Amino acid sequence: MDPETDALNELHRRLSGLRDGRVADYIPQLALADPDDFGIALVSMGGNTYRAGKADSVFTLQSVSKPFVYALALGDLGPRETLRHVGVEPSGNAFNAISLEPGTGRPANPMINAGAIATTALVRADGPAERFGRILACLSAFAGRTLDVDEDVYASEAATGDRNRALAYLMRSAGSLRADPAEAADTYFRQCAVRVTAADLAVMAATLANGGRNPVTGVRVVAEPDAVRTLAVMATCGMYDGAGQWLLDVGLPAKSGVSGGLIAASPGRFGVAVHSPPLDASGKPVRAVAALGEMAERFGLHIMHNSGLHAATVTGAERVEREGRTVGVVTAQGRLEFTETEALLYALRDLTPPPLGRLVLDLTAVSTVLPGAATALAAVLADLVAQGHRVAVAARLTFEAVGEERPRTWQVFGTREAALTWAAGADGA
């Protein structure tokens, strides 16, 4: 198993013990959810999916649908016209969520229910069936597979959706909603009842992180500027009243839903999704929030320390002849965080097809290795040694892999030259 999966498994194992929160019960179908369902999935920009736990359990999108339909509406109307109907400001607190902007009658943003209903109504279509058809097709393209509706959940939402209907009527009376209120609410109920898995959500989030192109299918779902805009709105409005705290702690645009789903996107790096039904008092899934918090800290994902210049880069992957033997040398520089480590690991694998057996990893220009990256790196190096490769690392720093249990079987040297010499030595594979 790859080290990313190991890391997710370790995280999953630890957080499974977290038993706080309550499964949403405002409609009977949500109350049926298994509180022990707990899945994590991560999709990189390279299209690789990593999973832990029940990442294939099926649940309904609920509010996680909001950013995707917003991106669709942006494409239909353009940002200026969309902004005329739905604002982009955080609403302050959940209780205010009913208030519309004085003067314009706009809902504060597309991540609260009022704004989401208005957004749904903006999707271009000749009628409600076509509108929902386009929404479902868009969600499916984000996920990379054909999604469908949980009709029982939809029926329940429709039966108990008075508050959402109230919002729709309110917006029409305020002039910010031109569509039929009952119909707009109904389409919104259907979109909330679309079925997904954590693995689907991770692909959907990764599509936003990848500028609107699905990194698994390669299909462009929305234009890049619309993906960027959607992430910007998620960053300030996605986590309701705790937007500031979330950006401080986790530092990634995110969105959660009452069925227990939570997505987050690291622009240009990956999308992640966690599913676990029990919710905290503010309606966020307890284990999902904890998981994102830990991942942010261990993998250095915070958007405010993402760095261009200082980011580590694989600066070389070459075959060097030394003492008549061929040595694969991978060189990196800068700071090893999650994304760069993945690139490094792929470069290593590309250079190590059988029967090649001598390998140098030159990290002398690397300034920092985050714990999560170190764990991943150590696991791969150990695997390579176990497969019979002769592996040397040149590094100026020593790094400790968190939770590492296996003894270190690869050699570490202070300089590239020393590493190369040893790797090319006679006792090699």
Three-class secondary structure of residue 96 per DSSP? helix
**Which residue lies nearer to a second copy by CB, 37 or 186?**
186
Of 174, 153, 176, nearest to 87 by C-alpha is 176
Tell me the two tokens of residue 345.
């690991």
The answer to the question of whether 337 is labelled as a binding residue is no
Three-class secondary structure of residue 176 per DSSP? coil
Shortest Cβ 48–a second copy spacing (Å): 12
**Which residue lies nearer to a second copy by CB, 315 or 387?**
315
With beta carbons less than 8 A apart as the criterion, state whether 312 and 340 touch.
yes
Amino acid, single-letter form, for residue 176: S
E strands present in 218-373: 254-256, 261-266, 270-275, 313-322, 325-336, 358-369
Tell me the two tokens of residue 164.
């959402």
Of 208, 217, 162, nearest to 185 by C-alpha is 162
What is the 8-class DSSP label of residue 410? S
The answer to the question of whether 188 is labelled as a binding residue is yes
Shortest Cβ 170–a second copy spacing (Å): 4
Shortest Cβ 242–a second copy spacing (Å): 7
With beta carbons less than 8 A apart as the criterion, state whether 40 and 274 touch.
yes
**Which residue lies nearer to a second copy by CB, 246 or 413?**
246
What is the 8-class DSSP label of residue 145? S
**Which residue lies nearer to a second copy by CB, 309 or 426?**
309
**Which residue lies nearer to a second copy by CB, 254 or 385?**
254
Residues that bind a second copy (CB under 8 A): 45-46, 79, 87-93, 95-96, 98-99, 102, 109, 162-163, 165-170, 172-174, 181, 211, 224, 227-229, 231-233, 235-237, 241-245, 247-248, 251, 253, 267-269, 302-311, 313, 315-316, 337, 339-340, 343
Q: How many CB atoms lie within 10 A of CB 326?
A: 12
The answer to the question of whether 240 is labelled as a binding residue is yes
The answer to the question of whether 4 is labelled as a binding residue is no
Shortest Cβ 370–a second copy spacing (Å): 12
Amino acid, single-letter form, for residue 233: V
Shortest Cβ 389–a second copy spacing (Å): 25
Binding site residue list: 63, 113, 157, 164, 188, 240, 258
| Residues contributing to the annotated binding site for substrate | 63, 113, 157, 164, 188, 240, 258
